[in-house]
Amino acid sequence: MTKRILVVEDNDLNRKLFCDVLQAGGFSVEPCADGHKAIERARAFTPNLVVMDIQLQDVSGLDLIATLKDDVDLREVPVLAVTAYAGKGDEERIRDSGAEGYLSKPVSIGPFMAAVKGLMAEQADEAA
């Protein structure tokens, strides 16, 4: 069964890049540009992974991660946080919000796909 990934990213270029790379990697992808619709889209799409931009225009990605982790149906879905904020303490703060993975922008394809596959493998291991 094809693994599903929800990409929450308000930058059109980044969202297209993430989606294209993930689709080329064999994943089913659901793009989401509006942070306010991200939780609703996650419930409808039931992703195996969420790629979450932390710096969304309309809502904090940290708040969305916390909402996902508080949702009984979505709390087990791993989150890969992607952010332009890469200051001291940011990764810890983002992981404390519930994100299992963290990458700083600009994101290179190799590390991005390695992080995605790593989180998918961890999820498969936990389900077994």
- Regarding pTM above 0.85, the answer is yes
Containing structural domain, residue 108? 4-121
Q: Does 84 reside within a domain?
A: yes
Lowest mean pLDDT among 3-7, 56-60, 76-80, 85-89: 85-89
In a domain, 126, yes or no: no
Burial degree of 51 (CB within 10 A; 0-12, 13-18, 19+): buried
**What local confidence, expressed as pLDDT, does residue 126 receive?**
75
Looking up residue 26, the CATH number of its domain turns out to be 3.40.50.2300
Question: Mean of the pLDDT values across residues 78-90?
Answer: 88
31-72 residue pLDDT tens: 999 999 999 999 999 999 999 999 999 899 999 999 999 999
